[in-house]
Amino acid sequence: MTDRDDQNGTAGHTAQNAGRHVATPRPSASVMIVRDGRDGIEVFMIRRSPALDFSPNNLVFPGGAVDPADELPQRLADYDRGELLVFQLAALREAFEESGFLFADRQDLPLAALARARESLLRGDGHFYQQIASCGITLRPDLLQPVSHWVTPVQLRRRFSTYFFLARQPSGQQGSHDGGEAVDSGWFSVAALLAMCDSEDPSIMLPTEMNCRWLAGFASSAAALAAAAAPRRIPSVTPRVERRGDSYWLLLPADSGYGALERKLR
């Protein structure tokens, strides 16, 4: 989604001075794919390549920017038109391309055909929706439940408007990284991820951390999914960057859905 500096804000990227144009946030979506493990809820993560100019080496949930194909009216007509459908489709598409998971209407998916379709997409051949349709599969964006909405601070030159969704690991699917933009992947317990955050691991972004802290409040993936599916206000969070003397601080308001936060930026 973004690199740690662009998501969290740093002194080098802030523009408290004058007259700077405020970038329009780019719509994007990400999905927390969860299951139950020995140490509580586990979530599937991918490690972005250290060679990338954008968010190198970050440990992230599968996700990315909304594609124009996600918004085609004829495609949207195939589903119940919820407010977040475009974002759900983007998250679903990115999850397949980046991690190999597909949220669909059937359990007996043609896994070999899907693997070939994914390889073709990663080579830049064809498009996701056509590839999936050729396999006779109907997508299930409704399986992705919204958890939160994050907007990058206004001071930063690269901004995103990102919805985070929650979904259960599809039955029989294991997931894998693409070997290009993502160089590693696997299941992490939420407890292990938060231990990394508490050690100030620079590869874990603030939205990733705070969504993991939200997950940590549940004893099981089923409980987390039930909470995400329940009618409620989806928190919309725009962190604020504030200068205090020679330092910059990142602030979250008390009504952010995660509680108030004040964190000094390195």
Between 82 and 163, whose confidence is greater?
Answer: 163
In this prediction, residues 13-17 reach a mean pLDDT of: 42
What residues contact 177, with CB distance under 8 A and at least 6 apart? 46, 47, 98, 99, 183, 184, 185
Say if residue 137's pLDDT is above 70. Answer: yes
pTM over 0.75? The answer is: yes
Q: What's the confidence (pLDDT) of residue 183?
A: 82
Q: What's the confidence (pLDDT) of residue 162?
A: 96
Band of pLDDT at residue 16, cut at 50, 70 and 90: very low
Which domains does the chain carry? 4-235 (3.90.79.10)
237 and 151 Cβ atoms separated by less than 8 Å: yes
List the one residue out of 167, 177, 169, 192 whose CA is nearest residue 38. 192
In this prediction, residues 85-105 reach a mean pLDDT of: 94
pLDDT one-digit tens code per residue, 152-174: 888 878 889 999 999 999 988 88
Tokens of 103: 């949220």
Q: Which residues of 174-200 are buried (b: 16+ CB within 10 A; e: fewer)?
A: ebbbbeebbbebebbbbebbbebbeee
pLDDT one-digit tens code per residue, 225-242: 999 999 988 988 999 888
pLDDT one-digit tens code per residue, 48-73: 877 776 677 889 999 999 999 999 88
Q: How far apart are CA 239 and CA 228, in angstroms?
A: 22
Inter-CA distances, 125 with 93, 109, 228, Å: 15, 21, 35
235 and 149 Cβ atoms separated by less than 8 Å: yes
Handedness of CA 201, 205, 208, 211 (dihedral sign): positive
Between 189 and 235, whose confidence is greater?
Answer: 189
